[in-house]
Each structure stands twice: as C-alpha cells, then as structure tokens.
Amino acid sequence: MDHPTGGNGPAGSPARGCLIAVLVAVGLVCALVLWQIHRILDRTPPDVGAFAHSAATQTADAAAARTSSAGLTNLTAALPWAVPLGTSVADSCHTEDQNPFIGPAHWAPINCVRSSVLYLAFDGNIRTHLHQLDAMLAEQKWVGSGLSPNTLTGMATWMSQAGGEPSPAGSQQGSTDPPGSQPICLSTTYGPATQKHDIPYGGLGVRLRVAVAELPCTPRAETGDIQIGGRLEKAAVDGTVYLAWHPLLTDTVSRSAYTTHRYVVAFSIVDSYAVQSTAPKD
C-alpha cells in the first residue's frame, strides 16, 4: 500500500509557481525602482564636446566667425567719429538641466553660440549721434526686434519722458547736452532684415544688441561669459565647452574710456550657429 509523500506531489507545484511569480514580480519592481533612482542621481550631461568638435559644427563655427568679424569691421568703418576700444569673442557650445531639483535630468538641446563684442567711445551731441547710429544700422540692414521703441533714438526719447536725476556726467568734456539731463544708459536689439523672426531660445539665428552708456552706467554687452565683481570667468555650468575665448571686461573697458570720453557704445553680435537635440531616441 502506497503512502502519501507530503508536499512533493502535485499539490505543491502550484504553490511553488506562485512563489516564483511573486519573486519575479518583486525583482522587477526593485529593478524599476533602482533604475529610477539611477536616473535621478545620474545628472551627467550629454557629450557636448563631441558635438562641438564634429565636422558639421566646426564648419558652421568657421562661417559664424567670418560673418561676425565682417559685421564688426563694417560697424567700425561706418563710425569714423568713434574711437575703437577693443573687441572680445566668446564661442561656446552648451546645454543645461531644465529639471535640476526633483526627478531625472532633462537636458536642453545643445546650442553653439558665438558672441563678438565691439566697444567704441565718442563725444559730442548725443541726439545727433543716436540718429547717426540708427541711420547706419538701417543702411546695414539691421532692423529693430521686439516691441517699440526699437531704435536707439526711440529708446532715448521714451526714457527721457520718464524723467531722471541730474546727470553726474553733465560737466564731463565732450558734453553738448544741457545740465541736468538724464544719464544715457540704453540698449536695444536688432536682427538682420533677411531674418523674418526673432530667435527662439536655443534656436538658430543672429541678433545684434547695441548699448550706449555714460557714467555711471556700464553698457549692456552680451559677452558670452560671466562678468561679476570685476572678474572674468567662463560659464561654469556642466555641459559647457568653449571653442574660443578672447575676453574683455566690459566694466574695465568703459571706465577707462570715461576718463577721456563721454560715451561708450557696445555692439554685440550673437550668432547661434548650431543646435542638436538631446531628446532620447526611440
């Protein structure tokens, strides 16, 4: 007569199957949790250097360098009444984490931008020179972007209507303005006439910022680097690679110019010449 053999028979097989299924499910859940933790902790940026040094990016960079250099040369030649103070260049490719606090990193598209800045000083009647600057920019096919006023003359008129304190630079040499006029500290942005839209953030295109200032102001130049407290630094954000950096400290340039001239103008040509998506591929 056969005797029962306990749980080793057919009745034990379903129990073992359920146990294995539970262990597999738990394993999958743990793996998913570990993967999510890895994604949250891993904030390594995409390989910006590889994109920056690729053949296509280097070709676009060389074209941007030629265009920006020619643009600054044309601006200088068109302003014989202004004294050149120097130029700076910052050329970098960068990305940024758009979700830096909670959850996985979300890296913005890699964007390569060349910022070229020309500094000039001048004296004389500011109203006359602002008209001359506007006429020169129109002749070179730079058009104001954004909301009006989008010319230097229009910006100066708008600012003067708001009033202001007496200009501390009113007694400086080269001044032909009446005492008590508001210090000039203005800027506006232009784009090429052939560029029918403003550049979206991180998009391709060229813009020109023109800033005119007198003491106590420093012209607002788009230098492509960090200038704080009299110090020059490259952008320290993870995912930034510089291809060229020939800096000038805007504050130092303008303060030096103010010892002998009334006004400083800064022309910043900013050329966004290459973009690569960082979205994960399916």
What is residue 8's predicted lDDT score, i.e. its pLDDT? 53
What is residue 160's predicted lDDT score, i.e. its pLDDT? 72
Domain for residue 282, yes or no? no
Domain for residue 174, yes or no? yes
Q: Sign of the CA dihedral 85, 89, 95, 100?
A: negative
Residue that has been written with the tokens 């009033």 in this structure: 163
What is residue 239's predicted lDDT score, i.e. its pLDDT? 73
Q: What is the mean pLDDT of each run of 10 residues along the chain (282 residues)?
A: 52 66 62 49 73 96 97 97 97 80 73 97 95 95 74 82 44 42 85 78 87 95 91 81 96 96 97 81 50
Separation in Å, CA 185 to CA 76, 152, 222, 263, 275: 21, 11, 15, 10, 33
Residues 81 and 132 in one domain: yes
Residues 119 and 246 in one domain: yes
Residues 16 and 60 in one domain: no
Residues 18 and 70 in one domain: no
The C-alpha torsion from 101 through 103 and 105 to 106, rounded to 10°, is -100
Residues 77 and 201 in one domain: yes
Domain for residue 221, yes or no? yes
Residues 250 and 132 in one domain: yes
What is residue 173's predicted lDDT score, i.e. its pLDDT? 41
Q: Are 244 and 90 in contact (CB under 8 A)?
A: yes
What is residue 183's predicted lDDT score, i.e. its pLDDT? 84
Residues 30 and 169 in one domain: no
Burial category of 147 from C-beta neighbours within 10 Å (exposed 0-12, middle 13-18, buried 19 and up) = exposed
Domain for residue 96, yes or no? yes
Domain for residue 155, yes or no? yes
What is the span of the domain harbouring residue 64?
46-276
Phi-psi region of 271 (alpha: psi -120 to 50; beta: other; left: phi over 0): beta
What is residue 229's predicted lDDT score, i.e. its pLDDT? 84
Q: Are 91 and 245 in contact (CB under 8 A)?
A: yes
Domain for residue 1, yes or no? no
Residues 174 and 239 in one domain: yes
Element (H, E) at 205: strand 205-213
Residues 106 and 180 in one domain: yes
Residues 100 and 223 in one domain: yes
Separation in Å, CA 188 to CA 4, 152, 205: 94, 7, 17
Domain for residue 281, yes or no? no
What is residue 157's predicted lDDT score, i.e. its pLDDT? 82
Residues 104 and 227 in one domain: yes
What is the domain count for the chain? Answer: 2
Residues 208 and 251 in one domain: yes
What are the backbone angles phi and psi of residue 234, rounded to the nearest 5°? -70, 155
Domain for residue 158, yes or no? yes
